[in-house]
Amino acid sequence: MVVYTLYVKADLEGVASLGLVDNANVCVSVRNPLDPTQTREKIVVDPTELESPALNGHDKHRSTAHAAFHLAIKWDATHDGDHRATLRLLTAKDHHLDNKKEKGSKGHRHELEQAVAKLRDNMTHADSGQFVPMLVLDCDGLEPFEFHALGDEFQLVSQHGDPTKPARVVDLSSGDWSDYDLASGSISVMNLETKLE
């Protein structure tokens, strides 16, 4: 299992915070790490659908692998036969990981715990132009190589807006978003960039 982190960078104007909407779908492109020619483009992952693997009698006794997942795919046959791959999404709210219940080696559990601890719920105006870790992808048998903004997974709070109002969902599928409000002036999110490491 390998841990990847989604980093988000944007230039913010008039924005107090920008973050991912709770339980919003996430769209990524993935490849088979054993055969990079096998890819799946723009797979939409629903974070509200966490699946538990069906285990046979032999696998139930193994203490490594078989963690719950949000996405499972099967790659074409390789030299090892059919290869199932899984992906699980974790946010800053998942900081309470129970190491005893997490599957995988002790080193993997530690790496996962450290990655989740570094996540941020939001990037702030002070983070403008800097990459901020916002999402962890716990992967087994696949490698995410690109994040695709769908248009409804980011939310922002204006610097001069009413703090009692809920965050505003913004469409960053084109990489930029702007608006003008008489009360708060110009607000924008420009030059959205993401990377997976």
pLDDT tens-digit readout, 127-144: 999 999 999 999 999 999
Residue type, 40: R
What local confidence, expressed as pLDDT, does residue 84 receive? 84
Question: H or E element: which one contains 111?
Answer: helix 106-118
d(CA 94, CA 82): 32
What pLDDT, in 10s, does the model give residues 80-110? 556 789 999 999 888 665 544 555 567 788 8
The total domain count for the chain is: 1
What are the residues whose beta carbons fall under 8 Å from the beta carbon of 29, sequence distance 6 or more?
39, 40, 41, 42, 43, 144, 145, 146, 148
14 φψ region: left (φ > 0), alpha (ψ -120 to 50), beta (else): left
pTM for the structure as a whole? 0.86
pLDDT reported for residue 83 = 75
The residue range of the domain holding 164 is 2-196
Give the DSSP H/E element, type plus range, for residue 194: strand 185-196
**pLDDT tens digits for range 22-68:** 999 999 999 999 999 999 999 999 999 999 877 555 554 444 445 79
Q: Provide the pLDDT confidence category of residue 192 given band limits of 50, 70 and 90.
A: very high
Q: Which amino acid is at 83?
A: H
